[in-house]
Amino acid sequence: MLIKKASGIKSSEITPESVYRQRRLFMQGAALGVGAALLPSMAAAVGEVPAQGIARYNGDLAYKTRAPAWLQGKVAAARQSKYATTEPLAPWDVVTTYNNFYEFGTDKGDPAENARNFRVDPWQVEIAGEAEITGKFSLEDMLKPHDIEERIYRMRCVEAWSMVVPWNGFPLADLIKRFKPTSKARFVRFETLVDAEQMPGQRSRFTAIDYPYVEGLRMDEALNELAFVGVGLYGQAMPPQNGAPLRLVIPWKYGFKSIKSIVKIEFLEKRPVTTWERSNSREYGFYANVNPQVSHPRWSQASERRLPTSLFSSNRRPTQLFNGYAEQVAYLYAGMNLARDF
């Protein structure tokens, strides 16, 4: 999701068409876009498993992460879960080259290009705040107890485009419970790596945000069954442009809530101020729940452009409340004014 401050944005920048400028992506998008246009509208449902089984990618891994062998093996052994959909998956080349990761640049293709040599080994995650177990933990220690599963989720960007991605990972709730948050822990704060040497966007004078990138969830949101720690996609360890080595996947919220390349998890009594909320609270709220009835100040959220698109099909469809996951998450917001608490 390319997010900009209020001034100077053009409507053409909301949904850029960089996919078309890459011949390989264009050819795939054309074929898949036509196919999608011929299919009836299908709502994703928990419990539906695609006929092809677990999604694997065995093609040209031009954007493969430099993950250690133990992590790649762990991801490759992912089992199928009940969280799936009958909707067509976005191709690997779309998922890995159409990204918003400002740390690597603001254009959609910048992260794939600028993160090629991003180092994820060694990697540490700090656990802090209101919890019985805190400290710094290696990536292997963080992931070792968890079995990896595949979950196919829709991802909805605040820019009004979307895609369907086969993520590999494990429930966020399982990770949180290991560190035994105290009764004071009402929120969870997440922080992205700061490393200007590896992340050219962090040293740019024209960056739109202050680093480190910070996101947060209410504790009950973080413990929801859908909240997911992603460590791979398509049976491959997470590519750096998608958030290697671990990121959040919160499918009922706009994509900017699913923070990438996490190095710190902190349990807090008070609600944290998140990065885009701090940058422009009028446009990007703390909750960021997908809601077709609450427009962004500069564009409607009533519909979305499902990637890949093509010359023959814009692949546009109505936006679903909570991105179609209301059955699993609506109870979290009972009694709240979703237009005010956006």
Domain assignment present for 248: yes
What confidence category does residue 313 fall into, taking pLDDT thresholds of 50, 70 and 90? Answer: confident
Tell me if 5 is assigned to some domain.
no
Name the pTM for this structure.
0.85
88 in any annotated domain: yes
Q: What is the pLDDT of residue 212?
A: 97
In angstroms, rounded to a whole number, what is the distance separating the alpha carbons of residues 314 and 300? Answer: 16
**Do strands 161-171 and 303-306 pair parallel, antiparallel, or not at all (unpaired)?**
parallel
Among residues 100, 83, 146, 96, the alpha carbon closest in space to that of 258 is found at 100
Rounded Cα distance, 309 and 98, in Å: 12
Nearest to 43 by CA among 87, 96, 104: 87
pLDDT, residue 62, reads: 65
The predicted structure's pLDDT at residue 63: 64
> What is the reported pLDDT for 175?
98
Can you give the pLDDT at residue 166?
A: 98
Lowest average pLDDT, out of 43-57, 220-234, 309-323, goes to: 43-57
Average pLDDT (6-18) is: 34
Domain membership of residue 341 (yes or no) is no
Residue 45 has pLDDT above 80, yes or no: no
pLDDT exceeds cutoff 60 at 210: yes
Asked if residue 2 belongs to a domain, the reply is: no
Domain residues for 279? 11-333
Q: Exposed, middle or buried by CB within 10 Å (0-12, 13-18, 19+), for 140?
A: middle
- Whether the per-residue pLDDT at 328 is higher than 50: the answer is yes
Total count of domains within the chain = 1
- Evaluate whether residue 134 is within a structural domain: yes
Structural domain includes residue 1? no
Q: How many CA atoms lie within 13 A of 277 on its CB side?
A: 15
Q: What's the pLDDT band for 134 if we cut at 50, 70, 90?
A: very high
Q: Residues 209, 211, 212, 214: what is their CA dihedral angle, to the nearest 10 degrees?
A: -20
pLDDT in tens, 211-240: 999 999 999 999 999 999 999 999 999 999
304 occurs within a structural domain: yes
- Do the Cβ atoms of 181 and 130 come closer than 8 Å? yes
What CATH number is attached to the domain comprising 55? 3.90.420.10
